[in-house]
Structure 1
Amino acid sequence: MRALLVVNPIATTTRPRTREVLVSALSAELDLEIAETTHRGHAIELGTRAAREHYDVVVALGGDGTVNEVVNGLLVDGPRDDLPALGVVPGGSANVFIRALGAPRDPVDATGLLLEALRANRRRSIGLGQVNDRWFIFCAGFGLDAAVVGRVEQARSRGRTATPGLYVRSAVAQYFRGPERTTTSIELKLDAPPADAADGVGAEPSGRFAAVIVQNCSPWTYLGPRPVNPCPEASFDAGLDLLALRALGLPSTLRTVWQILSPQPDPHGRHILREHDLSGFVLRSDAALAAQVDGDYLGELSELRFTAVPNALRVVV
């Protein structure tokens, strides 16, 4: 079986000796080519080559950002039946994707499960999201959460490690110092308003929003071991889910945070809109706002066009 292993050498939680053990285990059972990423976007280039040269499997060893880039490379020419399957060995700080699949967070255990799945020819087809021209696996955001991701990326560029504590401190700082708390500029337009739309039967959501979170699976992310779940019904087997906040006042925002961190999350309230299993929608803002996909900061944009793509990718799991 011809396989390409895409390794992020600066992945947060794997040491060089651990990576050597993992590479050795994979090489023993696969016709394995190894490629280390050297710059942002390199994993996209490697995924594109693997798709066009018809590899059987591409294994991403790194965090969610590495996995996202590999997926965007695999799907650069669109979904098709003969694309390489994706395997993941976690090496990041959150590893949301592999945990959402129910696979181990430990890289050695995850490698063992991956090899077992390859021997048994186990594959799972999952749906993905697409925003503008970018594919995403588990989440996207417009507004506050994306601004927090941008703040964390700035800290990482200065040598900081992406820990849960860094995300919490960045979120608090962005909430009180950023412009998002006093801005409600986002408009939402659904491709096909669902019959049970929260704002009325068959109706478009009314009003404007301060921030929007989009999920393709549950959870949205993890705070250390704790799942964070704005849209607990989100699934790889359904369309896209979203949670939109009409305002970011302190009492209502704290209440929402408490709800999404609950063991049985059910965010609700007058300031919240939740939609489930959407095929597509557009978010527009008068002023450009921060945007992110899978924890990767995209910059400030004024329009995001979302599409749910079922059975877009095969995953070894």
Structure 2
Amino acid sequence: MNPKSGTTTPAQKNKITILVGKQANAKLFFTEYSGHATEIAQQAVKEGITKIIAVGGDGTVNEVARGLVGSETALGIVPIGSGNGLARHLKIPLKIDKAIQFALSSNVSSIDVCFLNEIPFFCTAGVGFDAFVANEFAQQNSRGLKTYAKMSLKSFRTYKPESYHLESQQSVEIKNAFSITFANATQYGNNAMISPKSKIDDGLIEMVVLKPFPFGAAPIIGVRLFRGTLPNSRYIETASDTEFILKAEEDLLIHYDGEPLQLSTNVLKITLKPKALKVIGYV
């Protein structure tokens, strides 16, 4: 469990500690630094542990999951983050007690794992406005959808769309893209469905390009995002493939599963390993 994750109160985290303590053959570990969850997961694999359950947000889930890729150890999730994108896609209960029981008793499935260069992601990743907002959001003291919406509105006024060169089955120039998202799952989190047709076990990466749009169109795009009808917008272009290469003029600021990262390269290679992670959830 990440003790600093999301919007969960100390009382709720104490409840998790008590509930886990009542389970047979279960032990709770607290993460102490960035990357610690991956180390714990890797050790669990070496010891032949059958399930490791990430208690936290999408960042914690990503850290745990990257330590399990290619193994027989299954990932469970108790979602206590701000967005809980992968948990929502896998139809995991959002209530703590139900999520714990779900993780302990539900069936195991296999999902695809995507990579930005060598960085694994399990839900969504990309460049442009979303990465810009993720970077701003990460610096805020408060979390949650309200804070994210506030930062999005503030960032809209200052962000400038960029141009990219894309290589997949054919090479194209993408001029003035507002954002480019590479999706394994349907959503960012909070049921904001950027790629509602994505299937997490189909061996394909969906690319969603959001073209620049007037400020007056933002409310309509927002409604479409949460209703799962965004692909119907004239400002959206989509493509599916097993691999993409994206080039920009300058070093790229990216986001992966909600986490921002400034790269020291202007080239991204987006790849996929089919069904490389075992998860507890509905695929």
TM-score normalised according to structure 2 size: 0.89
RCO greater where, 1 or 2, for CA within 8 Å and sep 6 or more? Answer: 2
Q: Which residue of 2 aligns with 1:184?
A: 162
Q: Which residue of 2 aligns with 1:290?
A: 253
Instruction: Pick which of 12-21 and 206-215 moved more.
Output: 12-21
- Cα displacement (A) at 1:114: 2.1
Question: Secondary structure at the residue paired with 2:266?
Answer: strand
Q: Which residue of 2 aligns with 1:197?
A: none
- Cα displacement (A) at 1:263: 5.3
C-alpha distance in 2, partners of 1:176/1:14?
A: 31
Match of 2:38 among 14, 39, 44: 44
2:131–2:255: 8 Å Cα contact kept in structure 1? yes
* CA deviation string 1:224-258 (max 9, x = no partner): xxx22222101112211111134355456565444
Match of 2:123 among 120, 124, 138: 138
* Residues 18/272 of structure 1: CA separation in 2 closer, same or farther (3 Å cut): closer
Q: Which residue of 2 aligns with 1:31?
A: 25
C-alpha distance in 1, partners of 2:228/2:239?
A: 21
C-alpha distance in 1, partners of 2:15/2:146?
A: 30
1:172 maps to a residue whose letter is L
Question: Secondary structure at the residue paired with 1:109?
Answer: helix
Q: Which residue of 2 aligns with 1:112?
A: 101
Instruction: Pick which of 44-53 and 128-137 moved more.
Output: 44-53
- Cα displacement (A) at 1:116: 2.6
Report 1:252-263 matches (<5 A): 255-262=220-227
Q: Which residue of 2 aligns with 1:165?
A: 146
* Residues 30/312 of structure 1: CA separation in 2 closer, same or farther (3 Å cut): farther
* CA deviation string 1:6-34 (max 9, x = no partner): x1112234344434443444444442232
1:208 maps to a residue whose letter is K
Report 1:65-144 matches (<5 A): 65-75=59-69, 79-80=70-71, 83-117=72-106, 122-144=107-129
C-alpha distance in 2, partners of 1:70/1:44?
A: 5
Matched, 1:208 2:179: no
* CA deviation string 1:18-68 (max 9, x = no partner): 344434444444422322111122112212222233222111111111010
2:151 maps to a residue whose letter is S
Matched, 1:275 2:229: no
C-alpha distance in 2, partners of 1:17/1:174?
A: 34
Question: Secondary structure at the residue paired with 2:270?
Answer: strand
Percent identical among aligned pairs is: 25
2:150 maps to a residue whose letter is R
1:26–1:115: 8 Å Cα contact kept in structure 2? no
Instruction: Pick which of 283-292 and 300-309 moved more.
Output: 300-309
Matched, 1:59 2:53: yes
Which entry has the higher C-alpha Rg, 1 or 2? 1
Q: Which residue of 1 aligns with 2:156?
A: 175
C-alpha distance in 2, partners of 1:63/1:216?
A: 17
C-alpha distance in 2, partners of 1:204/1:259?
A: 29
Question: Secondary structure at the residue paired with 1:87?
Answer: strand
2:164 maps to a residue whose letter is I
- Cα displacement (A) at 1:165: 1.6
2:35 maps to a residue whose letter is G
- Cα displacement (A) at 1:92: 1.1
How many residue pairs get aligned? The number is 278
TM-score normalised according to structure 1 size: 0.80
1:64–1:95: 8 Å Cα contact kept in structure 2? yes
Question: Secondary structure at the residue paired with 1:287?
Answer: coil
Match of 2:185 among 217, 221, 238: 217
Question: Secondary structure at the residue paired with 1:125?
Answer: strand
C-alpha distance in 2, partners of 1:136/1:314?
A: 14
Q: Which residue of 2 aligns with 1:4?
A: none
* Residues 142/263 of structure 1: CA separation in 2 closer, same or farther (3 Å cut): closer
C-alpha distance in 2, partners of 1:280/1:264?
A: 25
* CA deviation string 1:131-183 (max 9, x = no partner): 1111111000201100100001111xxxx2212121112112222123xx2x4
Question: Secondary structure at the residue paired with 1:39?
Answer: coil
